[in-house]
């Protein structure tokens, strides 16, 4: 059995995919397979990958459904390795990336391993993931998924057990194309015992002006009206998964409300309010009125009240000039 399966979703990544493939080929261990799932790219991405297929460890498959979730699921169908790693098509990794994750997951006998990362913009490091404890329980790791200062919602700095994924038939939710990686991790961690962390910085997340993943998501949906609301839908689905863990569920819903407020502020300040006439947020706002939330500030209390009012009355109500005023100014 192959030791590690590396799955990469690909959409219009001609500028970076060759380097990403070479980064995998340069790993200091050779027992891996690379599964590249092309989402019907409109550029030369597919032709570039085909130049590497003389390496029998590399497989190129076509995914007809749009979006990174569908592509990753297509890759999971082809996995033969004992462990699975998900990379993005336009990021960089150290030569020891796979070996570091493998040592952590096998030597410690855990169900997930993770490494540190940094964020690169215009060739400069703009963020370094702080050191972590060496071990987390599954619940501690879930909590990390919702903490800004220790955010762990990404999947590309982690290694997963292929057997556990198959046993519980875990997949990426193809109806969610923003926050889908965090939703997958909650599903996975619900079946984990323990997570091991390596404090070696192995993954380099590259901020691009127009990232391949961003293009995939924009290709899938009308971003102006749908992109951010799928983040909220993912939070609601995570809340259902955490229904037996009330403290974690509360943490999830608190994070959801802050994300919703960010979106709602954007809506209130938009000159193009008509975009929100049939916005999914209105339906979601009606659901949120039943979710317990203690607003930490007066501004957020007012925002939540306005959000619920928007859910019931819609854009016609919010276009009233008084709606934009604080309650004390009315």
Query: Any idea where the domains of the chain sit in the sequence?
Result: 4-214, 222-329
- 4-214 placed in CATH 3.90.550.10: yes
- For 223, residues 6+ apart whose C-beta sits below 8 A from its C-beta are 217
Q: What is the pLDDT of residue 289?
A: 79
Q: What is the pLDDT of residue 213?
A: 52
- Counting Cβ atoms within 10 Å, is residue 77 exposed (0-12), middle (13-18) or buried (19+)? exposed
d(CA 141, CA 144): 5
Closest CA to 12 of 49, 65, 57: 49
Question: What global pTM score does this model have?
Answer: 0.88
Considering Cα of 148, then 154, then 158, then 162, what sign does the dihedral take? positive
d(CA 36, CA 67): 14
- 222: helix, strand or coil: coil
Closest CA to 178 of 208, 222, 138: 222
Whether 99 contacts 252, CB under 8 Å: no
Q: What is the pLDDT of residue 283?
A: 82
Q: Residue with structure tokens 């190129």? A: 60
Which residues are 195's β-sheet partners? Answer: 112, 136
User: Can you read off the two tokens belonging to residue 279?
Assistant: 């916005």
Q: What is the pLDDT of residue 330?
A: 38
Angle, to 10 degrees, between the axis of helix 212-220 and the axis of helix 223-241?
100
For 188: left if phi > 0, alpha if psi spans -120 to 50, otherwise beta; the answer is: alpha
As a whole number of Å, the CA-based R_g of the chain is: 21
Q: What is the pLDDT of residue 150?
A: 66
Where do runs of H (alpha helix) occur along the chain? 17-25, 45-50, 68-78, 97-107, 138-144, 162-167, 180-189, 212-220, 223-241, 246-268, 280-288, 298-318
d(CA 183, CA 194): 18
Average confidence (pLDDT) per 10 residues, the chain, 330 residues: 92 96 97 97 96 98 92 97 97 97 94 94 87 89 84 90 97 91 96 93 86 49 58 93 95 90 79 65 82 85 85 62 44
Whether 215 contacts 183, CB under 8 Å: no
HSE-up of residue 19 (Cα within 13 Å, Cβ side)? 12
User: Can you read off the two tokens belonging to residue 58?
Assistant: 């590399």
SS3 content of the chain, % helix, strand, coil (to 5): 45, 20, 35
d(CA 36, CA 11): 10
């Amino acid at each position: 059995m192959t030791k590690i399966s590396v799955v990469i979703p690909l959409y219009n990544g001609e500028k970076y995919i060759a380097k990403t493939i070479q980064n995998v080929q340069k790993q200091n261990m050779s027992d891996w397979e690379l599964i590249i799932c092309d989402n019907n790219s409109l550029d030369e991405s597919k032709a570039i990958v085909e130049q590497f297929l003389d390496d029998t460890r590399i497989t190129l498959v076509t995914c007809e459904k749009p979006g990174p979730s569908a592509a990753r699921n297509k890759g999971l169908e082809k996995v033969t390795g004992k462990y699975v790693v998900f990379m993005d098509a336009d990021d960089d990794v150290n030569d020891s990336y796979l070996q570091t994750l493998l040592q952590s997951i096998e030597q410690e006998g855990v169900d997930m391993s993770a490494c540190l990362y940094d964020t690169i913009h215009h060739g400069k490091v703009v963020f370094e993931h702080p050191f972590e404890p060496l071990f987390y329980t599954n619940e501690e790791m879930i909590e990390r998924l919702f903490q800004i200062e220790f955010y762990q919602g990404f999947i590309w700095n982690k290694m997963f057990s292929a057997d556990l994924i198959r046993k519980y038939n875990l997949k990426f939710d193809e109806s969610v194309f923003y926050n889908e990686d965090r939703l997958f991790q909650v599903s996975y961690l619900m079946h984990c015992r323990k997570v091991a962390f390596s404090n070696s910085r192995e993954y380099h997340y590259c901020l691009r002006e127009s990232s391949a993943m961003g293009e995939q998501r924009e290709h899938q949906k009308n971003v102006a009206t749908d992109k951010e609301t799928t983040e909220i839908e993912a939070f609601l689905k995570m809340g259902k998964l955490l229904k037996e863990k009330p403290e974690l569920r509360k943490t999830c819903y608190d994070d959801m409300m802050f994300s919703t407020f960010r979106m709602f502020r954007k809506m209130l300040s938009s000159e193009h309010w008509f975009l929100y006439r049939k916005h999914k947020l209105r339906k979601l706002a009606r659901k949120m009125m039943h979710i317990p939330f203690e607003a930490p500030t007066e501004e957020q209390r007012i925002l939540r009240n306005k959000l619920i009012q928007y859910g019931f009355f819609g854009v016609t109500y919010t276009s009233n000039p008084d709606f934009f005023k604080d309650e004390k100014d009315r």
